[in-house]
Amino acid sequence: MEFEPKPSNDFQEFIETYYERCLAVCPQLRGIAGKWNFEDLIPGLSDFDARLVFEDGLVEKDWAAISINVGNVHTELAIQYPHWARKLEHNPGQNLTHAEMLDPILYNPESKLWTFYAGDEGISTSIRKYLQTKPWTRRDELFYLKKFAAYYGPYHRGIDPPVNMGRWENKYPLHSRFMHYFTPPVQAAVALAQKKPVRGKSDSLKTARRLFPVPEVIDMVLDAVERHYEITEYYRELRLGQIEAQLESYLCEVYAALWDRVTLIDVDSSDTAQELRAKVSAIPLDPVEEFCDCTRFGRLMRGRLDFYATDIPWFDTTWLIPNEVRRMPKNFIQRSLLTYGKVRWNEDLAPETVLARLEGNLLTSPICQGVRTFASLAGRELTKESQKRRAAELACTYEPIQCMFELLRKDLRRLTEEPEQFSRPAG
């Protein structure tokens, strides 16, 4: 088996270029962050999970323009730098204002896993200081329980196809198993065990080696990453199957070790993956927390759809477009309206009923009709031939969704002014 050597690490150049290009067209931008530590960005194999922070006071039309402008930057970079295709797999995910980053009601535990790379130092410092002072809460425990449960169980082959990997594609089977599907639940378990998050993937693995049984599994993973996965025998079918079994067994050991560290579920070492996920799904959510969870990637989705709709010969969207479209009806329409209805009227209402009650009140009729149009488009059958066209159509009809998110978020914030309320489970 022949391997392409590990390339030089140009992530810093990429991040700085991305920020400068976005700042040139979005003067409201104040900083760029990314998940994990810099050392966790593996050249040739990692994408970049960007997070952008903006100045306060932005309204619906500002976010609509920002989404388009950042999408254009993303597209231009993908065309200009084909070797950055992997890094540019998707547009920035969560995008918040400075005030939102400091708002206890809107607090998302993932933000403690961000590294700030460029922008207004005063703003990034204030965010870091705020996050450092936040104690471990129910919201943190639930976040990491959900993450652990999502990855618990055997590795499902085909779940994580290599996308835009170029010459390093034959190393992806190990990268996918080790860094995408093993390290995240280990990182979550470390946070649950210590009641304190560890930001980096590498740091989490090293901490897990000290906290949990079977340290040789962690040694295997760290060694493979250090060698840029250039270990021929690990790719042979028999050995690869053994590795999958080792990783699954390790997570079972870790889960059992958490029996006295979590409060929201009863840990039973005999729980199957399905049983664990059922336990976690049964934990009541605060409706506002759930609304933010299902809409947090919505602000720059128009730009992401525009990018995916663009025909760039060396950028493959065959898996990316269906992956985004599949999640939209549930998260962007059903869950967002259901959770809003719970807060506004204290009822479990059908999404269309909520939309009908809002029409002519908080939302204009054109916005509501636009939401219905988008929902209809997103719910249609998607074929390989129609993917790019569907992405373009959804981009063109996305603005009402974006307006709805902003208006509902502001109204939920108004309806729930007491931060103490958010330490209590819904119901």
Please compute the mean of the pLDDT values over residues 256-266 and round it to a whole number: 97
β-strand partners of 97: 54
pLDDT (0 to 100) of residue 285: 86
CB burial of 370-382 (b: ≥16 within 10 Å; e: otherwise) equals bbebbbebbeeeb
| Domain end (from 281, 308, 338) | 281
Bridge partners of 185, per DSSP, are none
Same domain, 272 and 295: no
- 44 and 107 fall within a common domain: yes
Percent of the chain predicted with pLDDT > 90: 92
Residues 88, 67 within the same domain: yes
Total number of domains in the chain? 3
Where does the pLDDT of residue 422 fall: very low under 50, low under 70, confident under 90, or very high at 90 and above?
very low
- Domain check: are 246 and 305 in the same one? no
Do 152 and 275 belong to one domain? Answer: yes
Whether the CB-CB separation of 50 and 43 falls below 8 Å is answered with: no
Residues 328 and 402 in one domain: yes
Is the confidence at residue 28, as pLDDT, over 70? yes
Whether residues 114 and 199 fall in one domain: no
DSSP one-letter string for 177-239: IIIITTHHHHHHHHHHHHTS----HHHHHHHHHHHSS-HHHHHHHHHHHHTTT--GGGGSHHH
* Other C-beta atoms lying within 10 Å of the C-beta of residue 210: 9
Last residue of a domain, one of 224, 257, 281: 281
Tokens of 77: 């970079």
* pLDDT of amino acid 194: 98
Beta-bridge partner residues of 115 = 34
**Strands of the 114-119 sheet, one edge to the other:** 95-97, 50-54, 29-35, 114-119
pTM, 2 dp: 0.94
Residue 229 shares a structural domain with residue 365: no
Q: Tell me, yes or no, whether 72 and 112 share the same domain.
A: yes
Summarize the confidence of residues 359-382 as an average pLDDT: 96
Q: What is the average pLDDT value for the chain, to the nearest integer? A: 95
Per the structure, the complete domain to which residue 209 belongs is given by 138-281
Helix H, strand E, coil C: the string for 394-422 is HHHCCHHHHHHHHHHHHHHHHHCCCHHHH
Q: Does 149 lie in the same domain as 104?
A: no
**Is 39 in the same domain as 129?**
yes
Q: Are residues 4 and 116 in the same domain?
A: yes
Confidence (pLDDT) at 286: 83
Q: How far is CA 390 from CA 76, 84, 161, 163, 164, in A?
A: 21, 25, 22, 20, 21
pLDDT tens profile 133-174: 999 999 999 999 999 999 999 999 989 999 999 999 999 999
Which two tokens mark 51?
């997070």
Of 93, 113, 134, the last residue of a domain is 134
Residues 6+ apart with CB under 8 A from 379: 329
Dihedral sign for Cα atoms in the order 221, 207, 95, 286: positive
Cα–Cα distance measured from residue 401 to residue 301, given in angstroms and rounded to the nearest whole number: 10
